[in-house]
A and B are shown apart, each in its own frame.
Chain A
């Protein structure tokens, strides 16, 4: 149990375009989903927390108009990077909680975004 998928695994896009990343909990209902960003050889930085049917809560310094988060159902959250620039290139990872304990977060496999 506790499987989280993410799609796509890799994406390359041109500067100025938008990219959507999907995060799904496959075998449980995720009351809360989290989006992280990870730079090479660094830790995970929380970008935002989203609850189904509610607006996401963004961490300080994260532009909510640039990183749009939608949590339309208990199994799906999406992150859209709008007007992407090379500095947005990174590894984006989602996690979901809700199976048994609300504390435990299960991570997706991540999405490697490269903006040219």
Chain B
């Protein structure tokens, strides 16, 4: 089955700096890669996703890049703000199917 590794497990950045989270996956048939943000005690919320026919996608301060050959994808958050502090999860799936989640990254943005 699919295996998703996520790094780092914790990330502390100064407000205004960029944050980068990286994930690798094992199943070359995976073609859908969402990123979720989860605040303490709350539901995971989809913040951005990318499909395998695209190499990069951007939405305001958030961007995701995908390297299918190397089987890794990354989340980039620019101009970080305190409200970006949360746990971020990457995931992978074959499409229309179950998601396999990474272990999560706890991001702390220091004011």
B32 touches A107 (CB 8 A): no
A43 touches B104 (CB 8 A): yes
Q: Tell me the total A-B contact number using a CB cutoff of 8 A.
A: 49
A108 touches B103 (CB 8 A): no
Residue B11 at the A interface, CB < 8 A?
no
Hey, what's the 0/1 contact readout for A75-110 against B, CB within 8 Å counting as 1? 000000000000000000100010000111111111
Binding site for B on A (CB under 8 A): 4, 32, 34, 41-44, 46, 49, 93, 97, 102-110, 112
Residue B42 at the A interface, CB < 8 A?
yes
Q: Using a Cβ–Cβ cut-off of 8 Å, how many residues does chain B contribute to the interface with A?
A: 23
B98 touches A49 (CB 8 A): yes
A103 touches B44 (CB 8 A): no
B93, closest chain A residue (CB): A103
A103 touches B95 (CB 8 A): yes
A43 touches B101 (CB 8 A): yes
B33, closest chain A residue (CB): A103
Minimum Cβ distance to chain B for residue A112 (Å)? 8
Hey, which chain B residues are within 8 Å of A43, CB to CB? 89, 101-104
Minimum Cβ distance to chain B for residue A10 (Å)? 10
